[in-house]
């Protein structure tokens, strides 16, 4: 609970015309796990990223200005970069643009062929938000189409 609270306290939210508690940044919590075999001959390594992406909001609907407008534009750019990585991976392109954002660069090894990814989408049930909900579901559908292959065990032997 301590790490989650600390991370949550570092996150910024503001009210806008669309969302009373709009996230102004992504939240990334990374857990690194190391386990040794009983004999001590092998060590297994693992990594788990828990990520709450700041939502993409239509700038025309939010009424954002000044710093809030810049934040929204940066969030949308970051989500677009993640979409580009997902698209390139799904198309099995030779170059995947991981370095186009801090988020995709951080997640590069977790979005590659030796990893497993799970995406959960939260969408609004309100009729007025149907366009945003559809965009979110289409984004998740594109992410689902990516075939990463089999996850590989990360082992170091003595």
Could you report the per-residue pLDDT of 81-135, keeping only the tens digit for each?
A: 998 998 888 888 889 999 999 999 988 888 876 777 788 888 888 898 888 888 8
The span from the CA of 108 to the CA of 122, in Å, is 24
* The pLDDT value given to residue 70: 83
Q: What is the mean pLDDT of the segment spanning 66-91?
A: 85
The secondary structure of residue 56, as a DSSP letter, is P
Assess whether pLDDT exceeds 80 at residue 18.
Answer: no
* The pLDDT value given to residue 10: 75
Alpha helices (runs of H) in the chain, residue ranges in sequence order: 2-9, 59-62, 66-90, 102-106, 130-144
* The pLDDT value given to residue 100: 94
User: Which residue in 59, 52, 63, 119 sits closest to 86, CA to CA?
Assistant: 119
* The pLDDT value given to residue 133: 85
* The pLDDT value given to residue 97: 95
Most confident among 16-30, 59-73, 93-107, 140-154 (mean pLDDT): 93-107
pTM above 0.75, yes or no: no
Assess whether pLDDT exceeds 90 at residue 60.
Answer: no
Structure tokens at 25: 């940044």
* The pLDDT value given to residue 81: 92
Assess whether pLDDT exceeds 80 at residue 12.
Answer: no
């Amino acid at each position: 609970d301590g790490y989650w609270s600390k991370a949550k306290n570092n996150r910024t939210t503001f009210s806008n015309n669309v969302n009373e508690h709009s996230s102004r940044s992504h939240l990334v919590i990374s857990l690194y796990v190391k386990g040794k075999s009983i004999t001590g001959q092998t060590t297994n390594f693992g990594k788990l990223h828990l990520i709450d992406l700041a939502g993409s909001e239509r700038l025309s609907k939010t009424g954002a200005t000044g710093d809030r407008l810049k934040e929204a534009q940066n969030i949308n750019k970051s989500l677009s970069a993640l979409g580009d990585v997902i698209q390139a991976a799904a198309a099995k392109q030779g170059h995947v643009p991981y370095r186009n954002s801090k988020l995709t660069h951080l997640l590069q090894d977790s979005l590659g062929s030796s990893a497993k990814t799970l995406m959960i989408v939260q969408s609004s049930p309100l009729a007025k938000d149907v366009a945003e909900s559809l965009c979110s579901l289409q984004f998740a559908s594109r992410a689902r189409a990516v075939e990463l292959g089999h996850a590989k065990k990360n082992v170091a032997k003595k």
